[in-house]
Amino acid sequence: MKPITPQKRSLARYIAALFNRCPGWLASLHETLAEVQVLARSPSGAVYAFYIQLEEAVDKPTIEDLLEALVPGQRGVVVSATGQYTREALELAKERRVLTWSLSQLDYLVLAAELEMSAPLARAGLEIEVHKPLVVELEQKSNITGVFYL
């Protein structure tokens, strides 16, 4: 079992801190002996689990491990510091709706935190609004009163 590197821990803390500066978002850091994970809840209630890969390209087994670790209802996001993903990993991620980020997507998070708004996060693929069903109110046609004979 490989211990968590200080760089990985620092990046995870940075991501969690940035999410906590965005209105309506709540992020927390979860560490085990071998892994560090950021959980972030959006204003819409969607929960994202962020996994960080620093050194090598993200491969298919990494995506499979992430999918295994997800709690039902969570959405996965893999952050690759190198920005490299194997073709098989990208295909599986697309099929299972896992977001694949490089450090350039973190720019949207930095921008959202600086502006204190969630809109830039939508550009990175995150759900930021509650989808409300369209409610059509029926307007009353007339208020006719009286006696009617049939």
User: Under a CB-based contact definition with an 8 Å cutoff, are residues 16 and 28 in contact?
Assistant: yes
Tell me the pLDDT tens digit for each residue of 18-55.
999 999 999 999 988 778 889 999 999 999 999 999 88
The structure tokens listed for 26 are: 């709540």
pTM of the model: 0.80
pLDDT for 146: 61
Q: Taking the domain 6-123, which CATH number applies?
A: 3.40.1350.10
Q: What is the pLDDT of residues 50-78, one digit of tens each?
A: 999 988 899 999 999 999 989 999 999 99
- By percentage, how much of the chain surpasses pLDDT 90? 52
pLDDT of 127 above 70: yes
Domain ranges for the chain, please list them. Answer: 6-123
| Cα separation, 77 vs 109, whole angstroms | 13
Residue showing tokens 């949207």? 108
User: Three-state SS string across 59-83, please?
Assistant: CHHHHHHHHHHCCCCEEEEEEECCC
User: Per the structure block, which two tokens stand in for 147?
Assistant: 């006696």
